[in-house]
Amino acid sequence: MGQGRHKEDNITLRQAEVMQEICRHFSIYKKMPTMQQLATAFKIAVPSIYDILQELVGKGYLKRIEKGNTRPYVINREVEPASLVTVQIPVLGEIPGGVPVEEEEDRSGDETIAVDKALTKNGEVFALRVNGDSMIGAGIQTGDIVIIRHQPIAADGDIVAASIGSEVTLKRLVNKPDRIALEPENPNFKPIELTRYDTFRIIGKMVGIIKRKESDDGRQQSPEI
């Protein structure tokens, strides 16, 4: 997998990776990662993460704000395209963001897309195009590309690619002692309630999204590959 360009005079490689992880975490969880979470993700000590955050503040990527007795970091700007640290991952086809459809047997191909290198740190990842609007409440719509980390388990609240019998779908997992379900993020769709009799498996967890671009006249275009 190839690595994207890096702009040494603006931001170092490690600073870019950490800033990209901060932005990725915020886009999914709508909150900033803790220093311990960043330290765990990059397998370095918390004081080293603190130093990197201070450098990112100095370069204008993060800023500190007064909030009660704390001074949390907030995102001030994202890493410039020329400095993004990226790798190429395969695009393995399409996944319904609506009513489940029959799973394809062969999703292999030569198409790839460049993604944030941080997404590949914890396992194999691949991309799928979304077709449907059952997840619009989570900001996922037709034409978007979701990044999936291949894993057989997921936590309550994770957005997952899952198969039910021979069908596949993209939904939010409800995993509680009294209920297991796949929840849409659109009131026009019903949850998929699961029982012990269902043939169900998690294909992977969504760890990122590439939004479909819009043209100058407001019409949507496919993401650039």
Give me the phi and psi of 185, to 5 degrees please: -115, 45
* Predicted TM-score of the model (pTM): 0.66
All residues at 6 or more sequence positions from 200 whose CB lies less than 8 Å from its CB, including other chains:
162, 163, 164, 194
pLDDT of residue 166: 82
Q: Does residue 101 share a domain with residue 31?
A: no
pLDDT of residue 99: 52
pLDDT of residue 9: 47
pLDDT (mean) for 113-138: 88
Q: Does residue 162 share a domain with residue 96?
A: yes
Q: Does residue 186 share a domain with residue 119?
A: yes
**Residue 222 annotated among the catalytic residues of the structure:** no
> How many domains does the chain divide into?
2
Q: Does residue 25 share a domain with residue 39?
A: yes
pLDDT confidence bin for 71, thresholds 50/70/90: confident
Residue 217 domain-assigned? no
Per-residue pLDDT for 143 more than 50? yes
Query: Using CA atoms, how far apart are residues 15 and 56, in angstroms rounded to an integer?
Result: 7
| CATH code of 152's domain | 2.10.109.10
pLDDT confidence bin for 79, thresholds 50/70/90: confident
Query: Using CA atoms, how far apart are residues 82 and 151, in angstroms rounded to an integer?
Result: 31
Q: Which listed residue (134, 163, 215, 222) is catalytic?
A: 134
**Residue 134 annotated among the catalytic residues of the structure:** yes
pLDDT of residue 172: 95
Residue 219 domain-assigned? no
Give percent above pLDDT 90 in the chain: 50
Q: Which listed residue (59, 171, 205, 211) is catalytic?
A: 171
Q: Does residue 21 share a domain with residue 73?
A: yes
Q: In which domain, by residue range, is 95 found?
A: 86-212
